[in-house]
């Protein structure tokens, strides 16, 4: 069984060690694996090389498309497991793209890594099948707001969100670009009974200046509405780069 991964700047698989930059585990030493392909298309996506391939007409603000062959690599699950173990970390973050698109192979991988604490970063549009769910310690759910450019009926799947709401392993992270986006977050929190203590607001941005500027108005909104703030530590430390 194989997994399709994104590539790093050398053309190898994007498997690396760093600190978690976002959400409740920020700062934790972590092994990362970035999978390729996504079922959504965010216009501001900072990993468009995982899905915006040549011929894909879904919009992205950069206008750039990527050669699929140069930005994807297929590896046997056993090879991926060996590469992750070689990083000698206790925590694994599976990100993308959208990891749920490769759930069967991902379940096989995690079964080979039973001693790791596993986080999956997902857009929250699909359930984890039981064979995958059993290996996951934390779900980082990032439902997409209207400014992402995705149609609401594709980005927000109520029955899936309700399942994650009832799961104490799930945290919800909303990317916001302007204060009005927080009104949409509040509406989703009400409509789907999202627990505020597990809701993070994170400024959209791929450079420190933009993040800091937006956090100036985001912090007061977190205080007003009882949401948690997520920074993007990796952007401050390494910039908008692969493998960090």
Which tens digit of pLDDT belongs to each residue from 7-41? Answer: 999 999 999 999 999 999 999 999 999 999 999 99
In this predicted model, what pLDDT tens digit does every residue of 35-79 receive, in sequence order?
A: 999 999 999 999 999 999 999 999 999 999 999 999 999 999 999
Percent of residues, the chain, with pLDDT higher than 90: 100
Locus of tokens 């990083």: 87
Locus of tokens 């009882």: 226
Structure tokens, 144: 């997409």
pLDDT of residue 19: 98
pLDDT of residue 199: 98
Under the banding of pLDDT at 50, 70 and 90, the label for residue 133 is very high
Q: What is the DSSP letter of 171?
A: E
| C-beta separation of 80 from 109 below 8 A | yes
Closest CA to 23 of 168, 240, 230, 179: 230
As a whole number of angstroms, the distance between CA 156 and CA 151 comes to 9
Percent of residues, the chain, with pLDDT higher than 70: 100
Structure tokens, 44: 């501001």
Where are any strands of DSSP class E within the chain? 2-6, 15-19, 29-34, 72-76, 91-95, 117-122, 138-141, 170-176, 199-203, 228-230
Which phi-psi region, left, alpha or beta, contains residue 71 (left: φ > 0; alpha: ψ -120 to 50)?
A: alpha
Segment 120-145 mean pLDDT:
98
Under the banding of pLDDT at 50, 70 and 90, the label for residue 101 is very high
Structure tokens, 94: 């599976």
As a whole number of angstroms, the distance between CA 135 and CA 109 comes to 10
In this predicted model, what pLDDT tens digit does every residue of 146-182 receive, in sequence order?
A: 999 999 999 999 999 999 999 999 999 999 999 999 9
Locus of tokens 């194989």: 2
Under the banding of pLDDT at 50, 70 and 90, the label for residue 116 is very high
């Amino acid at each position: 069984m194989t997994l399709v991964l994104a590539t790093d700047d050398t053309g190898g698989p994007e498997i690396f060690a760093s600190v978690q930059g976002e959400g409740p585990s920020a700062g934790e030493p972590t092994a990362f694996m970035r999978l390729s392909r996504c079922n959504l298309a965010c216009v501001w996506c900072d990993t468009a090389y995982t899905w915006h391939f040549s011929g894909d007409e879904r919009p992205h603000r950069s206008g750039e498309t990527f050669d699929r062959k140069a930005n994807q690599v297929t590896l046997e699950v056993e090879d991926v497991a060996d590469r992750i173990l070689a990083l000698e970390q206790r925590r694994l973050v599976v990100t993308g793209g959208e990891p749920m698109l490769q759930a069967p192979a991902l379940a096989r991988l995690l079964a080979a890594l039973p001693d790791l604490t596993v986080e999956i970063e997902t857009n929250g549009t699909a359930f984890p099948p039981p064979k995958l769910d059993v290996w996951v310690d934390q779900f980082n759910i990032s439902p997409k707001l209207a400014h992402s450019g995705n149609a609401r009926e594709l980005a927000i799947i109520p029955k899936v969100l309700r399942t994650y709401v009832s799961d104490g392993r799930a945290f919800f992270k909303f990317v916001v670009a302007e204060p009005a986006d927080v009104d949409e977050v509040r509406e989703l929190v009400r409509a789907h009974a999202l627990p505020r203590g597990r809701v993070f607001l994170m400024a959209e941005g791929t450079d420190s200046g933009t993040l800091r500027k937006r956090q100036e108005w985001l912090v007061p909104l977190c205080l007003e509405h009882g949401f948690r703030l997520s920074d993007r530590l990796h952007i401050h430390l390494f910039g908008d780069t692969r493998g960090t």
